[in-house]
Structure formats: C-alpha cells, structure tokens
C-alpha cells in the first residue's frame, strides 16, 4: 500500500525523480506526474490503464504560469480563468511544443486548470514544472474523493498519497474549450453552467459525442462503478425489476432499508456532489446486485451529478 501523508517536500522529491504522487484537489484526487517529463507522463497511462488516445489535464499554480505552455489565451478564456481560478474549471487551449504530445494525446490543445486546494497549491508553487494529473482511478471507474479510495485501487502502484482530506466539491472539473473565440462546455462538472453564463451569457453545451469525442470524458459509459446502475423513479424501478438484492441511491428520500445511500439528508446539491462517488463505491462493497438511483434537481451542480449518474447507468447495457 502507498504511504498517506501531508509531506509536500516528500511529494516534491518523488515528482522530481519522475515518480507519481496522488494529489488532493477540490474536485477529485489526481494521479500526478511531471507534465514536461514524457517518461513520467507515460507512467500515468500505465498505472491508470488508460489508453494513450485519452489526453491528460495539466495543473498550474496560477493563470500566469499558463503562458509558458500555450500559444494564446483567447479573451473569453482569460476572463473565465480570472473569475473562476483557482477552481473546478479546465480550459482547453492551444499548446506550445514544450508540452509533450503524450500529455495531449497528439491534440493541438492542452487541458489546463488551477486547482483550489491549499496543499496542492503549496506543492505546485515549489515545483519548477506543472503536474499532469488525471483522476486517480483505474480508467473508466469512478473518481476517488478520499486518500483511501486511491489506496484501495492504486496503492500497490504508487508510493505516496498526499492527504488533503475529503474533496470539497466531489465531482470533476467543468471542461470548457474555445470555438471561434466562444466558450463551449464539453464536460459538466464542479463549476455550474449558471456560474459560467453569469459571466459569459448563454454558452453552448456539447457533452455528448459517441464517435471520436473531443473529450473522452464524453464517452457515454464512463465514470462507472462495478455494480449495475439503473436511473429513474425508485418506486417504479422497484416494480419494474423485482430483484432481490437492490441498493437504493437517493437524493434526500429515506426508504428505511439498510442497503441505501442518501446523498444529502438536508437536501443540498453541494452535499450530494461531495458524497456521490463515495456512494457509488459503497454499493460496490454492499451485498447488492443492482443499484436503483434517482436523479437530483437538474440545476447548478445537480446537472453534473445527473450527468455522472446517467453515465454510470449507461454501462448497464453492456452487461
Ligand atoms: O477535476 C478534474 O478535472 C480532475 C482533477 C484531478 O483535476 N481531473 C480529471 O482528469 O478529471 P481525467 O483525466 O480523469 O479527465 C479529464 C478529461 C478526459 O475525459 C480527457 O479526455 C479530457 O479531460 N481532456 C483532457 N485534455 C483534453 C484536450 N486537450 N481536449 C479534449 N479533452 C481533453
Ligand atoms: Mg477520470
């Protein structure tokens, strides 16, 4: 198992040696390596079991650091960075050649974000390179939101997990690209569409693409737990599939059964987002065959929660 601790100098030394370290962010834990070192980046793909056509997000300490890695920051992208960094926003920008092609899977754009977590901020500030970091889970599985989640799945493949506690947002960053100078949302995430639109006006959302997705996080079956998930009204699902071992994933409803997970007893979407991936992992350990999940109110971060629930359910077709 990996060591779990808060020693950023230890993390720094490992990263400088080209090793990988799991890092906390406000969204989910990342599996980090030196973005400018192609062999460290190659390790990320190996440890995650990730296909090399799926590009990585690069983490920087602040917006000024971005200029070293991209040719240009379009005006509206800059405005978004100014407003929402550090925070759960990834911007796709045209890369300079210093950024290895392996990081971007040969694409001309690189995904960049400035994470809002004090420990990782401190780490990024003492490093002389940015950190490439996908979510610290095996490819296709649910993202980790605690150090223990990382240790459970990747603990035998990495040496150190930087412990930043439970992730405050709990859902991955919102990915925004630029087309003709206008922002386009490719992945719903921790930054809500409403927040973006308050600054930009109406934005285009393109979160579905079955073939050749611009952002493979768009693949329909992704973010999937091991158990089969069905999404809908719980009462109806219970009638439709009278299975014996059922787990219930609800927003606020209490069905008074032991195999249930209530995302937010107090009914807040922020709390539901924080608990979502923990909940999906919990069912994998429960004695249930299937999970029936209800959608949450489709506003704010609720839209990203519903997006992940539907993608978790999409895998059910493959079984
Ligand atoms: O919140 C997050 O974004 C977390 C934390 C660790 O920062 N990271 C994360 O990374 O979710 P990952 O690799 O699990 O998901 C990144 C998504 C992938 O679906 C990838 O295809 C897409 O971003 N992506 C990265 N660079 C891209 C690019 N240049 N063009 C299109 N999509 C890109
Ligand atoms: Mg991921």
What is the pLDDT at residue 318? 41
| Rounded Cα gap, residues 228 and 223, in angstroms | 12
Q: Is residue 80 in contact with ligand 1, taking CB distance under 6 Å? A: no
Whether the per-residue pLDDT at 105 is higher than 60: the answer is yes
Confidence of residue 108 (pLDDT cuts 50, 70, 90): very high
Contact 25, 115 (CB under 8 A): yes
44 lines ligand 1 (CB under 6 A): no
Ligand 1 atom nearest residue 23's Cα: 6
User: How large is the average pLDDT for residues 56-77?
Assistant: 97
Q: pLDDT tens digit string along 280-290?
A: 999 999 999 99
Q: For the whole model, what pTM was predicted? A: 0.95
Give 229's strand partners.
291
Ligand found nearest the CA of 32: 1
Residues 6+ apart with CB under 8 A from 6: 119, 162, 163, 164
| pLDDT tier at 223, thresholds 50, 70, 90 | confident
Domains and CATH numbers, the chain: 3-205 (3.90.870.10), 228-312 (3.40.50.11030)
Mean pLDDT throughout 260-273? Answer: 97
Query: Can you name the residues that pair with 32 across neighbouring β-strands?
Result: 21
- Dist. CA 217–CA 102, nearest whole Å: 17
Mean pLDDT of 300-312: 96
pLDDT tens, 33-57? 999 999 999 999 999 999 988 999 9
Ligand 1 binding pocket includes 111 (Cβ within 6 Å): yes
**Rounded Cα distance, 61 and 212, in Å:** 31
Looking at the chain, the whole-number percentage of residues with pLDDT higher than 90 is 87
- Dist CA 102 CA 35 (whole Å): 9
Pick the ligand that lies closest to the CA of residue 87.
1
- Structure confidence by residue, pLDDT tens digits, 129-173: 999 999 999 998 999 999 999 999 999 999 999 999 999 999 999
Give the pLDDT of residue 208: 75
Indicate if ligand 1 lies below 6 Å from the C-beta of 105: no
pLDDT greater than 70 at residue 216: no
CB 283 within 8 A of CB 249: yes
| Residues 6+ away with beta carbon under 8 Å from 11 | 21, 23, 123, 160, 162
244 pLDDT tier (thresholds 50, 70, 90): confident
- Which pLDDT belongs to residue 215? 55
Whether ligand 1 lies within 6 angstroms of the CB of 109 is answered as yes
Q: In this structure, what token pair is assigned to residue 15?
A: 């990263």
């Amino acid at each position: 198992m990996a060591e779990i601790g808060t020693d950023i100098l230890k993390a720094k030394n490992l990263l400088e040696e080209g090793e990988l370290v799991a890092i906390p962010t406000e969204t989910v834990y990342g599996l980090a390596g030196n973005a400018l070192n192609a062999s460290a980046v190659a390790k990320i793909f190996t440890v995650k079991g990730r296909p090399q056509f799926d590009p990585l997000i690069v983490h920087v300490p602040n917006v000024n650091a971005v200029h070293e890695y991209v040719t240009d920051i379009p005006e509206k992208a800059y405005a978004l960075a100014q407003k929402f960094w550090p925070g759960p926003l990834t911007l796709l920008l045209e890369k300079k050649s210093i950024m290895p092609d392996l990081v971007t899977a040969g694409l001309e754009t690189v995904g960049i974000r400035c994470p809002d977590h004090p420990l990782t901020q401190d780490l990024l500030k003492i490093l002389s390179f940015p950190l490439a970091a996908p979510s610290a889970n095996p490819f296709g599985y649910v993202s980790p939101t605690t150090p223990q989640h990382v240790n459970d799945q990747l603990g035998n493949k990495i040496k150190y997990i930087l412990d930043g506690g439970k992730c405050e947002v709990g859902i991955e960053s919102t990915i925004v690209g630029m087309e003709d100078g206008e922002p386009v949302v490719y992945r719903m995430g921790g930054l809500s569409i409403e927040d973006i639109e308050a600054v930009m006006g109406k934005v285009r959302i393109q979160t579905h693409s079955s073939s050749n997705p611009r952002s493979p996080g768009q693949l329909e079956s992704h973010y999937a737990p091991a158990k089969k998930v069905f999404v809908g009204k719980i009462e109806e699902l219970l009638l439709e599939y009278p299975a014996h071992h059922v787990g219930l994933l609800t927003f606020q409803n209490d069905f008074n059964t032991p195999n249930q997970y209530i995302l937010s007893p107090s009914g807040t979407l922020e709390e539901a987002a924080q608990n979502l991936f923990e909940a999906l992992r919990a069912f994998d350990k429960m004695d249930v065959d299937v999970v029936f999940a209800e959608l949450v109110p489709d506003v704010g971060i609720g839209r990203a929660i519903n997006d992940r629930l539907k993608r978790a359910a999409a895998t059910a077709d493959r079984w």
